[in-house]
Amino acid sequence: MESAVLSGEHFFNGDVACAEGALAAGCRFFAGYPITPATEIAEHMSKRLPGVGGHFIQMEDEISAMAAIIGASCAGVKSMTATSGPGFSLMMENIGLGIAMETPCVLVNVQRAGPSTGLPTLGAQGDMMQARWGSHGHYEIIALAPSSPQEIFYQTITAFNLSETYRVPVLVMADEIVGHLSERVIIPDASKIKLQSRPRPKGRKDRFKPFHPGPNGVAPMAHAGEGYMVHFTGLTHDERGYPVMTAEAQAEMMERITGKIRRNLDKIIQVEKYRLEDADIAIVSYGISSRSSQAAVDEAREQGIKAGLLRLLTVWPFPEDMIRELARRVKCLITVELNLGQIHLEVQRCSEGKAPALLIGHAGGSAITPEEILEKIKKQASGS
């Protein structure tokens, strides 16, 4: 058996670092379909999984890849897929299935510019709202945004941990630039990596209700073949997993699947506050755009402008309270992202008119430069 955790110093691109993060997190099943710029994740998993006792399968499309990882997870194996825009669109229906079946799994989207085939080889952050609302119906989901190969390594582990803890599909919303950027990646000793696994049932099997929530709102999960005779369905169901076609059952199930996330926001949401304590101008950014933002903040500080950065490691659920708090004490908020304004809408919503919320964004195809951001910061500083 090969080592699942390649402790040491490496020079990896983001896609490979993501795959290594998954292996370190205990992922032992990967189903995928080739797509630029996420293909290297599948390739690396196909090479590595057999050696660590896991299984890789290249499916016939992204629909089946998503279905297969939910099936594998229901049999008790930590599972993942990786894709980009068009494949992400195809996975939407089964993301909903994962949510309704409360089945842990991780989906990595190495974003490229869309719509449609778009710019397959060039980065964007245009799927952020799709990540939130792409599957039909109302639900809560968790989405992370890595800004470097090192960070995607850790965030993939975090994604598995959150997915297991809350029994929900977790999205790692990377982008082409992070996916194809090669940098130093340090992988710690396996003993230093904290792993979570899904809550498991105790007690009498015949009395077990597969969707009866535990203390943190999350139900213990029984796997196929363990004798619990569970029933899982995408239909609205009660705590036994039985379909119930009423408004009351719908409300109860929705409360369960949204409540377990909404009541644990403080444990789920992670942000990094950079030079924000005394900031007049707050940048809000995530993923690759947050690196340009950080450089711009440093340069602005050099020039005597009090700029700071709120870097979103977790994009969904959205850190609403932090934006509210920030809007009360800064002169303006600037969202920096590689789209025409998606997370910007959330920042606008949560700033509640207390501070102007501006956007620096374009439709994708190249990174936003620190110079563009600095220029806007300076303009705002001189205007205030």
Interface residue list for another protein (CB under 8 A): 28-29, 31, 50, 55, 57, 59-61, 63-65, 67-77, 79, 93-94, 96-97, 101, 223-235, 242-243
245 versus 247: smaller Cβ distance to another protein: 245
CB of 332 vs another protein, minimal distance in Å: 45
* CA atoms of 384 and 329, how far apart (whole Å): 14
CB of 231 vs another protein, minimal distance in Å: 5
Q: Please name which of 74, 99, 71, 96 lies closest in space to residue 257, comparing C-alpha atoms.
A: 99
Q: With beta carbons less than 8 A apart as the criterion, state whether 170 and 163 touch.
A: yes
* CA atoms of 140 and 264, how far apart (whole Å): 12
* CA atoms of 295 and 144, how far apart (whole Å): 21
Q: With beta carbons less than 8 A apart as the criterion, state whether 105 and 91 touch.
A: no
* CA atoms of 28 and 78, how far apart (whole Å): 6
CB of 22 vs another protein, minimal distance in Å: 15
Cα distances (Å, whole numbers) of residue 321 to 117, 276, 350 = 36, 15, 8
232 versus 286: smaller Cβ distance to another protein: 232
154 versus 211: smaller Cβ distance to another protein: 211
61 versus 375: smaller Cβ distance to another protein: 61
CB of 45 vs another protein, minimal distance in Å: 12
188 versus 227: smaller Cβ distance to another protein: 227
CB of 223 vs another protein, minimal distance in Å: 8
Which residue type occupies 365?
G
CB of 255 vs another protein, minimal distance in Å: 22
* CA atoms of 208 and 202, how far apart (whole Å): 8
118 versus 210: smaller Cβ distance to another protein: 210
